[in-house]
Each structure stands twice: as structure tokens, then as C-alpha cells.
Amino acid sequence: MNIKLPTDNVDYQAVLLTEPSVHGKVVQTDLLVLASDRTVKVRASILRDTVDNRWQRLHVGDGISASSVLEEPRNFYHSTFDYALWLKEHGFKAETFIYYSDWKKDVVDLTRLSYADRVVIQARKLRQSILSRYHDYGADGQNYAVLAAMTLGDKSALSRELKDDYSISGASHVLALSGLHLGIIYGILTLLALSFSRRWLSQLIIMSAVWAYVVLVGMPASVVRSAVMLSVIALVTILNRNNILLNSLSLAAFVILVMNPLSLYDIGFQMSFMAVLGIALFLPMLCRQRLFMARWKKWLYKLWGMIAVSLAAQLGTVPLVAYYFGRFSCYFILTNLVVIPFAVVVLYGTIAVVVTFLSPTVSSFLAGILIGIVQEMNKILHWIASLPGASVDDISWSKTQVIAIYASLLALYFILNFFAPKKYPS
């Protein structure tokens, strides 16, 4: 919904939706501004005061009173990235710059917010509390940055060097909460719910837990998309219908675009759905090759399965990655063979740490092991990123070339599917 913004300074109350992060001379945070008849999500930059450092006492969920100009989102000069569109896709209606003397911490009446907004704020305060526990248990530097990003979606501590290691090695997807992370969580919840005799009850409990996690991590678009897809799969399971991945993907895309049509232009939306589409189309073809392996080499089946999923997802996303980021990671298969098992262990380990919070000794012990695992993962990915020819950079493809490549991949799919044998040796 479009709103008309005032052109002059306005006085307002707001609630912090994110923990403030330092960017040069300012701290950035997301505000939920309380207008007379609605709330407005605003991306705020607050000039740091160097004497009292009042900004250091601001935390997510705190209220402030401020005076500033609320401006329409706009792009950076000399940048090809459509920052204004990105803000609108993520629900921001305005940007603002607040001078250090034009704000103060204040008590805000949260009853003026909707129930959904109050739930989100409480969830984000809980998330920040868990992040603080990570620090208390000894996670710092790169280990904390990766742990916070992989488990709670907080990427504010990631350094440029760490991002480059993950990008060059082809492991950036584990730092951005997505279907991979929700799938792992869904898997362990499914195992825990096997004792339930009623399928509908187990799926209801599982999806309630999944959506609670979505709210906890701040409801980023990529996680909401994945949760919608899992919800569709759960519904199909309850109804005892055949779960056809393409049908689930189509329904999830429809629901998401109805909720927010601007998602169509979101890079994350395009990447996640093309990855799933690649898996849906090409994974069955790649998995046929397993049938020609010797039966006694069952471990090869599992190894090839992991490679096949990685290849199928890459076929769906490589053109977009090259177009948007100008890079292709040459060792992505090796990287995924390493990083996926690590991701499973890290997420399961984090669940164990959180569950044992009431026993500080046990929780601290498990956290120490978890931090060591993250440290080893960082070392391995740094080694892969430093290998000769780890990535091809400065790729410059036009939209026409990307469309042509996808058309070629679609033609390849139909050709391979047409000539594929109908029966395979058992």
C-alpha cells in the first residue's frame, strides 16, 4: 500500500525492529514508526554521538522519540543495484537520517501496535538474547559471525574477507537462511514426530514449530518462501495426495506473489525457485545413473545423491549468479560435499545448545564443541577459496543471454527426457 510522506520534519515515536549496527559515522537500524492510523517500516541512519554514546544503549524492541524527514526510498549514486526496489520488496516505506540530538530513548505504548507486530518484536528480542548467549559461551570473530548467520539469520558480523571465502568457494547459500536450513530443521522435527499415530497432528505440530522459527529469525523473505513450500508439502501429506514437487513449487510461488507481487523482482526469490526448479527437472535424470552402480557400493549411492542435488540446483541458478554477481565457483561440488554435512551438524548442535540453556554446564560444553566445528568449516572453505582457479570472475551477461541460456537448458531437459530409456536395469 502506497502512503504519502510529509516533506518536512515530523515528530514521531518508533520501536526498533533490529539491533543497531555501526556503519562509519552512523548506526543503522529498522524502525516501526507509529503513525496516527498505521505503522510504517523505516530504514533509519542515526548519527553517532561521540561524547555520551547514547546509541550504545539502544537495543531491539526499545522505543524512541525522534524528529526527522521521512523520504521515499532511493538508489545510491553510481550504483547498478536497485536499492529502492529492494527496500520496497522488504516492506520499507521510507528512509530517514536522524541527527544525534534529534532523538531520545522513550517508553512507547506497544498496545498501539497490532498483535502480529507485538509478536514479531518479542521474537526479535528473544533472538537477540540467544545471540548474546553465543558471545557468553565464547563465540567471537568469524566463528560468531557464521554461527549467527547460519542459525538466526544475523549477518551483521560477517566480514568482507569471510563473505569472499564463502562466495568464491560456492558456499554463500549456507550463510543466508533458506530452504536448506528449514529443510534440515523439518527433517529433525519429522524424526521426532514419528511416534505420533495421527499424521495430521504430527504435521500440524511440525509446521507450527517451523513457522515459530520463521518468526524468531525475523521473517526474511527467503525463509518465508521456504516455509510456504513446506506448508504446501505438509498439506499434501495430510490429504494423502501425491506430492509432486513442481505442483508444490507452483502453488508456493502463486501464494507468495499474491502476498507480495514485488517478490518477483527479488534476487532471493528468483534464486531459490530456480534452484528448486532445477532439482525438480534434472535430479531424476541425474539419479538414473545410480542404477548402473554395483549394488554393494551403497555408499556411492549416497555420495552421488549429494552430488546430483548440487548439480541440479546449480543448473537452475548458475545463469542468475553470473548475471547478478559476475562470478562462477568452480569447486561448488567439492564445497557442497563439505558444507552440507557441516550445516546439518551446526543446526542440530545449535538446537541442542538452546534446549539445554537451563543447564549452563551442559549448554556451555555443547557450545564449545559447536564453535570448534564452525571454526573447522571456516578453515576448509578458506582453503577451497584459495585453490588455483577457484572462481571465474567479472562475468558480464545480458538479460538476453540469460534468457537464451535458460531456453537452452529447457531444450536440453526435453531432449534428454524424450530419449531417456523407459526402463532401467534393477
What would the pLDDT profile of 310-329 be if each residue is shown by its tens digit?
788 888 888 888 888 888 88
Give DSSP secondary structure letters for 330-369: TTHHHHHHHHHHHHHHHHHHHHHHHHTTTSHHHHHHHHHH
Q: Are residues 203 and 97 in the same domain?
A: no
Q: What percent of the chain has pLDDT over 90?
A: 30
pLDDT mean across residues, the chain: 84
Identify the pLDDT of residue 109.
85
Residue 7 lies in a domain: no
Q: Are residues 100 and 230 in the same domain?
A: no
Q: Are residues 241 and 332 in the same domain?
A: yes
- Under the banding of pLDDT at 50, 70 and 90, the label for residue 2 is low
Q: Is the pLDDT of residue 147 over 90?
A: yes
Q: Are residues 302 and 280 in the same domain?
A: yes
Residue 391 lies in a domain: yes
Q: Is the pLDDT of residue 221 over 60?
A: yes
Identify the pLDDT of residue 383.
95
Residue 45 lies in a domain: yes
d(CA 356, CA 149): 21
Residue 295 lies in a domain: yes
Q: Cβ–Cβ contacts within 10 Å for residue 3, how many?
A: 10
Helix/strand/coil (H/E/C) assignment for every residue in 85-131: HHHHHCCCCEEEEECCCCEEEECCCHHHCCHHHHHHHHHHHHHHHHH
Identify the pLDDT of residue 5.
77
- Under the banding of pLDDT at 50, 70 and 90, the label for residue 424 is very low
Q: Are residues 84 and 182 in the same domain?
A: no
84-140 pLDDT, tens digit each: 888 887 888 899 999 999 999 998 888 888 888 889 889 999 999 999 999 999 888
CA angle 228, 232, 172 (to 5 degrees): 45
Q: Is the pLDDT of residue 11 over 80?
A: yes
Is the model's pTM score more than 0.85? no
**DSSP conformational letter for 217:** T
Q: Are residues 300 and 182 in the same domain?
A: yes
Do 305 and 290 meet the contact criterion of CB atoms below 8 Å apart? yes
Q: Are residues 179 and 299 in the same domain?
A: yes
Residue 130 lies in a domain: yes
Structural domain that includes position 326: 125-419
**DSSP conformational letter for 51:** T
Q: Are residues 27 and 52 in the same domain?
A: yes
Which residues lie closer than 8 Å to 86 by C-beta, 6 or more apart? 266
Q: Are residues 185 and 303 in the same domain?
A: yes
Mean of pLDDT values over 127-156: 91
Reading the block at residue 129, the C-alpha cell is: 538474547
Q: Is the pLDDT of residue 290 over 70?
A: no
Mean of pLDDT values over 289-301: 57
- Under the banding of pLDDT at 50, 70 and 90, the label for residue 243 is low
What CATH number has the domain bearing residue 74? 2.40.50
**Looking at the 3D structure of the chain, how many domains does it have?**
2
342-379 pLDDT, tens digit each: 998 999 999 999 989 889 899 999 999 999 999 999 99
Q: Are residues 102 and 159 in the same domain?
A: no
* Boundary-marking domain end, from 88, 113, 138: 113
Pairing type for strands 39-47 and 26-34 reads: antiparallel
Q: Is the pLDDT of residue 426 over 50?
A: no
Q: Are residues 142 and 38 in the same domain?
A: no
**DSSP conformational letter for 75:** P
Identify the pLDDT of residue 233.
76
Q: Are residues 213 and 334 in the same domain?
A: yes
Reading the block at residue 246, the C-alpha cell is: 513442481
* Boundary-marking domain end, from 59, 78, 113: 113
